[in-house]
Amino acid sequence: MLAVTDNPLVQAGATTTAEKASGRPVTTGPVNGATFRDLLNAGMAWLDRHHEIVNALNVFPVPDGDTGTNMLLTMRSACQEITPENTDSLGEVVKAAAHGALMGARGNSGVILSQILRGMARRLEGETLLTGQNFAAALTEGTRVAYKGVNRPVEGTILTVVREAATAAENAAELDPDLFFVLERTVRAADESVANTPRLLPVLAQANKVDARGKGLFYILEGIYRALRGEAGAPVITPAVPPTPAPRALKGQRKLPPLVYGFDVQFLVEGPALDVQTIRERITAMGDCPLVEGDEHLVKVHVHVPDPGSVLSYAVTLGFVTDVVVENMDDMFIPEMPKGYDPVPPRFSPPGAYQPVEGMAAAPLPFSAAGQFAAPGRPGSEPIEGPAIVTVAPGLGLGKVFLSLGAHKIVPGGQTMNPSTQELLQAIEEVPGDQVIILPNNANIIMAAQQAQALTRKNVAVVPSKSVPQGISALLALNPRADLDQNVRAMTAAVGQVQTGEVTTAVQQARFKDIHVQAGDMIGLLNDELTATGPTCEAVVKTLLEQMGAADLEVITIYYGEPVTADQAQALQAELRTIYPKQEIEVVEGNQPFYHYIISAE
């Protein structure tokens, strides 16, 4: 948090200690470009501190709640785009932030956040100072752009929150143009709007949760408000609907979890001449999920380590250490989670890279996008027949399947690892030809794919596949000799001809209609709806197949993920063949994390 004595926010004169103690704002003056950069960074930092709460607001109890992570990574990209050269003008700062958010947007939440920033940048173009009036106008324009960017806007979501916050900002600006006054009422309105989302969206009311994306936006706005106030201990607007933690055994009277994840360590270090790159290298060598950001005077550090003492001992050699947070991640351990489950997102590094497969050429990664790889014998310079196919796959095995069916570029991604707009755009530019079809294979990647589509000069179409089985069905409908439009129509039609089942482990207690699950239960989703639970993942597979009407279908394909061994998958295949002797049943190694099985039935 910025110190009051040297805070550039203080532009309207000095603020006394008595004024700060009374709760009055530290500034009533306008904010320039450099200061607004600091405000955006403060919003990102406040979201960083609370992103796990946002992740936990996922409606379904599946181990892939990543809304907070996606919004945080999008904000990081926005803030990193702002260079010292473009901080003289407020308009240039917001323009840079909007571009960074656009390219770094992950998931639908990140895309909508980037659209809000894009609208704000449009309104603030040419402005040098931020006031309560133009902030309100900018947020209103951000609201308009965000609504326009969603095909079917739904109330009770982040769209409602930003709209009601913008309305409050406009009303406040009419009463008093002071920026602090306007922003305070904006944040209060956002908080109230988030609390009201369950009344507008029945699925939230059923799950007893508020909208996760709206909550993420609230934390960003609240972080900006706190920074504008200028003191870390400023009163915080209490969230109207705090998440209700699950009951836990008392410490000292519980069975201790195994030591697996270690400690989450965060701190700030201040000094006269900090070497950010050296600090980043040392922290990266110490543990996982490193995040080192800042400048020569102030650096923020985040890392996961088995021994927090080693990190903090190093920290105190660097300078003045404050805001130390040490959390035992194993204390948050949820028993019987699938292999690959990480209870403490986010993964600050890009999604895990695929290792090149024998006979498979690895694609160059100029944007440091992790793990894109190309089909064998398909270098980017060689012509191909028909449109090029870029597809997203959550596992190496599934990537091989897509390549065998004719895909030209695989972008790793899926649950908890949504690729950014930039990563998708890079894949588009690398494939040969001017006609490209993208298969997102996840509902939370479609908007990022559409953004990438708008950023290229190539003729690109997005086939809205929401699952791996839908993507495979679409790819099977590809006709290399047909034109782009014909293929898009055929592939889109094929998406609707397949049913998708997914089996995973519940990470929290939940009740949906007649299904009540506890953390650790095996659950099944049919076409994105929670419909099944059972004592084992194999039992859930059988229930899902019954719900799909498998006895009347022809082909059943089961992709087994990281939590399942090949022997377990083959045993399930043998059992299903006795239950469905007339059906063609195939089991394929998918390597997807979190999900024991993905079922395709048609």
Tell me the percentage of the chain whose pLDDT exceeds 70.
Answer: 79
Please tell me the predicted confidence (pLDDT) of residue 291: 66
Integer CA distances (angstroms), 235 to 25, 184, 229, 345, in order: 11, 11, 9, 27
Q: Over the stretch 402-455, which tens digit does the pLDDT of each residue have?
A: 998 889 999 988 766 789 999 999 999 999 889 999 999 999 899 999 999 999
Question: Which residue has better confidence, 308 or 359?
Answer: 308
Average pLDDT score over residue span 53-57: 85
pTM of full prediction above 0.85: no
* pLDDT at residue 160 greater than cutoff 90: yes
Q: Over the stretch 286-311, which tens digit does the pLDDT of each residue have?
A: 876 666 766 788 887 877 788 899 99
Integer CA distances (angstroms), 523 to 99, 492, 516, in order: 40, 29, 10
Please tell me the predicted confidence (pLDDT) of residue 361: 32
* pLDDT at residue 566 greater than cutoff 80: yes
* pLDDT at residue 337 greater than cutoff 60: no
Average pLDDT score over residue span 318-346: 61
Cα–Cα distance, 164 to 249 (Å, whole number): 40
Phi first, then psi, for residue 295 (nearest 5°) are -140, -165
Please tell me the predicted confidence (pLDDT) of residue 507: 78
Average pLDDT score over residue span 129-156: 92
Please tell me the predicted confidence (pLDDT) of residue 9: 38
The closest alpha carbon to 348, from 321, 364, 376, 368, belongs to 368
Q: List the domains of the chain with CATH numbers.
A: 17-229 (1.25.40.340), 263-328 (3.30.70), 373-489 (3.40.50.510), 499-601 (3.30.1180.10)
Q: Over the stretch 101-124, which tens digit does the pLDDT of each residue have?
A: 999 999 889 999 999 999 999 999
The closest alpha carbon to 594, from 558, 562, 559, belongs to 562
Tell me the percentage of the chain whose pLDDT exceeds 90.
Answer: 53
Please tell me the predicted confidence (pLDDT) of residue 251: 66
Beta strands 298-305 and 373-374 are unpaired
Average pLDDT score over residue span 197-217: 90
Cα–Cα distance, 449 to 433 (Å, whole number): 18
Q: Over the stretch 499-555, which tens digit does the pLDDT of each residue have?
A: 999 999 887 777 777 788 887 889 999 998 899 999 999 999 999 999 999 999 999
Most confident of 154-158, 291-295, 320-324: 154-158
Q: Are 2 and 232 in contact (CB under 8 A)?
A: no
Mean pLDDT across the chain? 81
Please tell me the predicted confidence (pLDDT) of residue 481: 87
DSSP string, 498-548: -EEEEEEE--S-EEETTEEE-TT-EEEEETTEEEEEESSHHHHHHHHHHHH
The confidence band for 237, taking pLDDT boundaries of 50, 70 and 90, is very low
Please tell me the predicted confidence (pLDDT) of residue 331: 66
